[in-house]
Amino acid sequence: MCPAIAVNAPVGVMDSGVGGLSVLKHLTRQLPHEHFLYFADSAHAPYGNKSASEIRQRCFTIADRLIVQGAKALVVACNTATAAAIGAMREHYTLPIIGMEPAVKPAAAASNNGIIGVLATTGTLKSAQFAALLEHYGQGVQIVTQACVGLVECIEQGQLDTPQTLSLLQQYCQPLMAAGADTIVLGCTHYPFVRKYIQEIVGQNVILIDTGAAVAKRLQQILEQRQMLNAASETGDYVFLTSGTEETQRVMQQLWAFAR
């Protein structure tokens, strides 16, 4: 349960690590007057190889911390955490909670040949939520999925264009290219930080889709519906928090500068 919160209170944004900064970029652009608290759980990243119960435990711990610091809403900026925990979180908390999901629906609409690739973590691809997405929006199209083991760890270290990262990207994009995918879903919030390199591998004619902008619009809609938008005219601020080390803070600053 959460007490009444002022409209100028911050929005909490949480991720398994630094990847959710790609979502925070869209949030600050869509809602420039809102204040944000961003929490990177880098000490426990990646979530993709953890059990659903472990992920839920981390999500509740982080949510409690953000709520104690005054968060009026939460954005779970992690596909894996959304799949594992958002249902339980919405049952437990009264404040608005917005989650992520791989953009299968817009990808199906954007594809010309009906072949869609999905790059995601193992946890996301195995989730019931992803299975439901395929059931609802995957009819009439071919979905080719690829688990990207090790890629989150590279991005967590700020290694966007190292030989190891580029080799993983080549390895994981190859099956999607071989299948003829003309649209690829970036199904993890870390992946937009290597979007440039993915595009170079798959070619400019392949459409890359992430869901950050859609999540930002959804947050705005919910805050408007609940009369929780910050009415102040000044630009909002943001605070970075992490369970990680000073190195995590450095990478967060690096990727935030990159995202901006």
Hey, where are the domains in the chain? 11-100+212-259, 104-209
- Tens digit of each residue's pLDDT (9 = 90 or more) over 80-127: 999 999 999 999 999 999 999 999 999 999 999 999 999 999 999 999
Quick one: which of 214, 125, 212 has its CA closest to 172?
Answer: 125
pLDDT score recorded for residue 97: 98
CA distances from residue 95 to 70, 73, 76, 80, 82 in whole angstroms, order as listed: 11, 6, 13, 21, 16
Quick one: which of 249, 216, 237, 242 has its CA closest to 27?
Answer: 216
Cβ atoms 80, 17 nearer than 8 A: no
Q: What is the CATH number of domain 11-100+212-259?
A: 3.40.50.1860
| 80 is known to lie in a ligand binding site | yes
Q: Which residues in the chain land under pLDDT 70?
A: 1-4
Is residue 15 helix, strand or coil?
strand
Which residues belong to the active site? 78, 188
Domain 104-209 grouped into CATH 3.40.50.1860? yes
pLDDT score recorded for residue 182: 98
pTM for the complete prediction? 0.94
pLDDT score recorded for residue 4: 58
pLDDT score recorded for residue 48: 87
| 48 is known to lie in a ligand binding site | yes
pLDDT score recorded for residue 59: 98
| 16 is known to lie in a ligand binding site | yes
Topology agreement, domain 11-100+212-259 and domain 104-209: yes
pLDDT score recorded for residue 49: 86
- Tens digit of each residue's pLDDT (9 = 90 or more) over 151-169: 999 999 999 999 999 999 9
pLDDT score recorded for residue 1: 40
